[in-house]
Amino acid sequence: MEYGKNSKGPLNVALELKPMWLGLLGVDGKEVKIKGEDFTILIAQDIFTFDPVYFSLVEGENVEESKRFFLIIRDVLKYPVKGIVSDLGRGRVFLSLIEEIFPNIPHQACVVHFSRYVDITLPIP
């Protein structure tokens, strides 16, 4: 328990270490259960360096939580965004937010996630 209280969060680590990010941001959300409750971990990684940029445990992959996540990456961490690859977010929530927060930055759907979407077969009655 003491270790957790004394450890730095992802924001402090990134600000202190000042990593040399190259600008291709990978973003994804992962659903987790903690003590029976549903949460989401939003994760951002520099795709070229594999460095974690930021992660946050949130109540859900929704507009409010995702917007706060992206604003921290842009305004606090000053990540040098040149392009973004994402799973588009639950319900495609990332689409409009990325366009709003990172205008004129190319945004591509992750090919792994996209291929899963393509492989979904509709049930035929």
Total domains in the chain come to 1
pLDDT band for position 53 (cuts 50, 70, 90):
very high
In a domain, 124, yes or no: no
Please give the mean pLDDT across all residues of the chain: 85
Of 16 and 116, the structure prediction assigns the larger pLDDT to: 16
Helix or strand holding residue 79 (H, E)? none
Record the pTM. Answer: 0.80
In a domain, 125, yes or no: no
Q: Across residues 26-47, what is the average pLDDT?
A: 93
Going along the chain, which residue ranges are E strands? 24-34, 37-46, 52-58, 83-86, 107-109
Which residues constitute the domain of residue 84?
A: 2-119
pLDDT of 7 strictly over 80 = no
Q: Across residues 60-64, what is the average pLDDT?
A: 90
**Domain harbouring 88, CATH code:** 3.30.420.10
